[in-house]
Amino acid sequence: MVWIDKNLEEYIKKCFPKRIVYAKYEYRTWQSSRYLYVTTSLTDDKALHYEYTNERVELHLEGKYQSQDYREFAKQLRVKTSKNDELAWGRWKNLSQGRCTLNRKVNNREELRDALLYMMSIIDPIIESLSDRKIINSSTDAYSGKVSFEEKELNGDNVCLETCTLGQLFSNLLIIPEYQRNYCWEEKQVSNLWKSLEEISPTGKYHLGTIILQKDIKGNYAVIDGQQRLVTLTLICRELGYKGKLPLLKQTFRSKTSRENVANNLYLIKQYCSRLHDEKLCGKIINNLIFSTLILTDSRLDLAYTFFSNENSKGVPLTDYDLLKAHHLRFVHNEGQAEHLANKWNLLISQKYNLMDTTLSIHLFRLRKWMRKRSFDINKKYRTKEEFSAALTIPDIPAFGEQFVFYEKIQGGPHFFAFAENFVEKFENFQQTEQLRALRKHIWWESHWRYEEVIETLLFGYYLKFGSQYLTEALFCIASSIAQHRFTSDKALPYKIRDFAKDSEIIMMIDQASSPTFFFAECLSQIRNWGKDIEEQGIQLRFFQRLQDLFTELSDSFTDSFIIEKYYNEYE
């Protein structure tokens, strides 16, 4: 047995300098999990190679040689080596006769070199004689079908809908508008797309949803909807060796996150392609993959955003934030302003998505519902989109009175984008307060976190009204009030906690208070259950102890003497 390591790899490379040599020898792994391979006379073809593993030298047919296209090639190899008693064919992966083993044990590296030379002397001439007869793969040839769109009735305010192949799409001047340049697909979406591509029949068509294009006066087609799919398909076709046009390769992404996603997905696609058995996949993608393509003119930008609000039939569903962008841009009639707002929104999404999602979908959503004493289903599809869509108005009376109050009616268009940006900035500042950091630090264990989320939402509501004034006192009052549910309930059911917060009317007390003192007095007067009354060991007592830790940490920031006395009476 020859130990496979870097020294062996370097030795074999010197023996066969014109071939690709690769060895796998991870640190602290057994010999059984290591291997070394050398390519055949087809020196650049790694899928067909000689491999040393388990003390033997073998010929392996991997990758494309496992496909139906190369079954005849494999068969001829077996036939032409069948009279050699030293060679035995056996199963390898999906191919019943996918490996040829030399029945000769290898005890040192010189014997390994000689075994490889012997295999090469037998196999290489056969491979060279067969290489001219193997199936010629025309799958990567440039698309040769219909190129131009018919564009019937595409003029003025009209639109046209066509069914076309991916090859036809790629044959036109596709571009990505500046305000759409945000590539956000990650591994899950790429994996799902790849699985869909593997379902494409060699003869049938496979529909992959709707693409929306907007034609400009120069003949360019801006991708309004379908960017994620088309960019990913571009990366796949490029890796498969497609020889035709790939117009989106010329597009650049300014966002760092977008560029990282492109790089990560390209690496992922390389892995998929390296394990590919379907030699004709590229041709099937180009010729058999079809889309319903909606083509608009510059004058129908508003209509483009209307269609953009629909889900793709096979692509990734649009998020609440995609839909909100499309919905509110419909209220913007100046195209330059629409592009500016869309670009700012995309930047906010790419840089502060989690922050915005927490602000809008969690805290503001709850506060708006509780202000109107309404319960809600946290799992309802597109609940955020519905909540922040433009409110109904009477056509003859214009909307006015923009104040950026969290519960105000949402005006369609620029108001929403400014509204969202304003509250995201405020929540970003709120996260820096010592009170919120302490709350998250102490009340985030066991099921306590379900109460922490609700307390955090209400404290944010206070912060929006009064800023950081008496914020520790506000936290004391809100946490003590919400804690009543924990002290009187064995189960921390999220919907019950949310309903308790709604019924407490804390957010309405805050809104109606002209100064913090009115809120503190009203909130404290409604608290009936304090942690000091808990006698039995259990989760209620442990929650009370976490509150003690929280207020002990913040004790130096209390300034109101009445609440300081209350703190000593109830938590010391």
Cβ burial 208-238 (10 Å sphere, 16+ → b, else e):
bbbbbbbbeeeeebbbbbbbbbbbbbbbbbe
Reading the block at residue 551, the tokens are: 């207020």
Distance of alpha carbon 231 from alpha carbon 213, whole angstroms:
14
- Nearest Cα neighbor of 241 from 280, 296, 202 is 280
Give burial (CB, 10 Å; 0-12/13-18/19+) of 36: buried
Specify the DSSP class assigned to residue 92: E
**Size (the chain), residues:** 572
C-beta of residue 553 within 8 angstroms of C-beta of residue 438: yes
In the chain, % helix, strand, coil (3-state, to 5) comes to: 55, 10, 35
| Confidence at residue 536, expressed as pLDDT on a 0 to 100 scale | 73
Distance of alpha carbon 365 from alpha carbon 467, whole angstroms:
20
- Contacts for 227 with CB less than 8 Å, ≥ 6 apart: 176, 180, 183
Specify the DSSP class assigned to residue 142: P
Which amino acid is present at 79?
V
Helix, strand or coil, per DSSP, at residue 161: strand
Sheet arrangement for strand 174-175: 160-165, 289-297, 206-215, 221-225, 174-175
- Contacts for 296 with CB less than 8 Å, ≥ 6 apart: 159, 212, 213, 214, 215, 224, 303, 304
Q: What domains sit in the chain, N to C, each tagged with a CATH number?
A: 6-131 (3.30.1460), 160-318 (no CATH), 346-429 (no CATH), 433-571 (no CATH)
Q: Characterize the bridge pairing of strands 174-175 and 221-225.
A: parallel
What is the DSSP track for 270-337?
A: HHHHHT---TTHHHHHHHHEEEEEEEEEGGGHHHHHHHHTSPPSSSPPPPHHHHHHHHHHTT---HHH
Cβ burial 288-308 (10 Å sphere, 16+ → b, else e):
bbbbebbbbbeebbebbbebb
- Nearest Cα neighbor of 228 from 209, 254, 250 is 209
Characterise 54 by phi-psi region: left (phi > 0), alpha (psi -120 to 50), beta (else).
left
Neighbours of 314 (CB within 10 A): 15
Please give the distance of CA 351 from its chain centroid, rounded to a whole number: 14
Tracing tokens 């997905």 back to the chain, one arrives at 265
Distance of alpha carbon 27 from alpha carbon 56, whole angstroms:
22
| Confidence at residue 245, expressed as pLDDT on a 0 to 100 scale | 92
Question: Strand pairing partners for 60?
Answer: 49, 99
Neighbours of 480 (CB within 10 A): 24
Specify the DSSP class assigned to residue 143: P
Give burial (CB, 10 Å; 0-12/13-18/19+) of 170: buried
Radius of gyration of the chain (CA): 33
Distances from the Cα of 192 to the Cα of 65, 118, 196, angstroms: 25, 45, 6
C-beta of residue 145 within 8 angstroms of C-beta of residue 287: yes
What is the DSSP track for 193-253?
A: HHHHHHT--SSS-EEEEEEEEEE-TTS-EEEEE-HHHHHHHHHHHHHHT--S--GGGG---
What stretch of H or E contains 357? none
C-beta of residue 243 within 8 angstroms of C-beta of residue 231: no
| Confidence at residue 134, expressed as pLDDT on a 0 to 100 scale | 44
Distance of alpha carbon 131 from alpha carbon 41, whole angstroms:
10
- Contacts for 462 with CB less than 8 Å, ≥ 6 apart: 471, 474, 478, 510, 516, 519
| Confidence at residue 395, expressed as pLDDT on a 0 to 100 scale | 63
Give burial (CB, 10 Å; 0-12/13-18/19+) of 456: buried
pLDDT in tens, the chain (572 residues): 888 899 999 999 999 999 999 998 888 788 888 889 999 998 888 889 999 988 899 999 888 887 766 777 887 888 889 889 899 988 877 666 788 999 999 989 999 999 999 999 999 999 888 865 444 456 788 888 888 888 776 665 556 778 899 999 999 999 987 766 678 888 888 998 998 898 888 888 888 877 888 888 888 898 888 888 999 999 999 988 898 999 998 888 877 888 898 999 999 998 888 777 677 889 999 999 998 888 887 655 555 555 555 444 444 455 788 778 877 877 777 767 877 888 888 888 888 889 999 999 999 999 999 999 998 888 887 788 889 988 876 666 666 666 778 888 888 888 899 999 999 999 999 999 999 999 999 988 888 899 999 999 999 999 999 999 999 999 999 999 999 998 888 788 999 999 999 999 999 999 999 999 999 999 999 988 887 777 777 888 888 899 989 999 998 999 988 988 888 888 87
Distance of alpha carbon 403 from alpha carbon 393, whole angstroms:
17
Q: What's the predicted TM-score (pTM) here?
A: 0.55
- Nearest Cα neighbor of 100 from 32, 43, 48, 44 is 48
